Amino acid sequence: MLADVPASLELIRRGTPLIDVRAPVEFDQGSLPGAVNLPLMIDEERHQVGIAYKEQGQAAAIALGEHLVSGTVKQARIEAWRGYLERYPNAVIYCFRGGLRSQITQRWLAQAGVEVPRIEGGWKAMRRALCTRIEQAAAQPMLVVAGLTGTAKTVLINRLDNGIDLEACANHKGSAFGRQVEAPTSQIDFEHALGKRLLGQNGALVMEDESRQIGNANIPLTFWHALSEAPRIRVEMPLDWRLEQLRFDYIEALLAAFVARFGAEEGFRRMQDQLSNSLKRLAKRLGNARLQRLQRMQALAFAAHAQGDVQAHEAWLAPLLTEYYDPLYRYHLEWRDDAPKELHVGDWESCLEAAQAWSAAARAELA
């Protein structure tokens, strides 16, 4: 009898190689962390089999699938699985519910002399376990790191072994300028990335002050409620320090990522396009006159940057902070009648120390 393994989060925690045999369209909608897509059927084949299943039943659907994936097509699929398993012999396969597709894959591989386990319950069971982990984490002690834009809150979070970087899970920095070179993650992939990050984090958690929506994803509601009610510390840094941080995050790091992907000339052009479009997305909130002024300053900064002056961007970043982001942040602070308790307000270093001290105290209390 061919082996099965339980749908355990230990597979993800240990970094077990995973082969997702679902169709590419399913994989793109949401995969398990670390999985590679080597499908039994491609999208069009799956579509045809689905129609046959609805109109003629399971037996007809299976027969059509065997016809579509046969001969050289079947052999190519088997070779793709075998090639991956030669490199990662401890890999595990799964389909949507651990049903027919993973069973067929497992059987074909066994006939080719390769035995591989499949996950009981498949993707669905693993997703349920990851989402349950997020629900459980909502009951854990939480601390929120707050502060104006540019106070390096994410850097602080990542200095902590119990820091949970929600923006990294979303592949988005959480503002109009937060888009990265790669597309933001889907809702499902965000939840899976967050569930994975929470593995082994059974004590106190520290996170950045975030809106519920980060890029394309929403923080799960129970977790979001816990986050919004958690005590916080607030980082306060001078404007010039914040501008330097923003210039690195939104200009230099972004450009480096685009250049690494597309080369120097195309990377610079794409960086300009992204920053220009990000500013345009704020048109309604900025108003036409202020938007046009910032666009002129941004265009001058691009020209100066092309000549090697990256600091020129501070000319438009500074008013963007002082005239838009800072007042918006303060408005949200004043708007809340039930604002969470602030445990500490200070500079970046003192807030890091405060977060470390809070974490140690929380661990001791839970012990």
The catalytic site residues sit at 95
**DSSP secondary structure letter of residue 337:** T
Q: How far apart are CA 183 and CA 266, in angstroms?
A: 18
Q: How far apart are CA 168 and CA 271, in angstroms?
A: 20
**DSSP secondary structure letter of residue 249:** I
Q: Do residues 116 and 203 lie in contact, with contact meaning Cβ atoms separated by under 8 Å?
A: no
End-to-end CA distance of the chain: 44
Question: How is 292-331 classified by DSSP, letter by letter?
Answer: HHHHHHHHHHHHHHHTT-GGGGHHHHHHHIIIIIHHHHHH
Q: Do residues 235 and 145 lie in contact, with contact meaning Cβ atoms separated by under 8 Å?
A: yes
Q: Do residues 271 and 310 lie in contact, with contact meaning Cβ atoms separated by under 8 Å?
A: no
Helix (H/G/I), strand (E/B), else coil: 33: coil
- To 5 degrees, how large is the angle CA 107–CA 109–CA 115? 90
- To 5 degrees, how large is the angle CA 118–CA 124–CA 128? 115
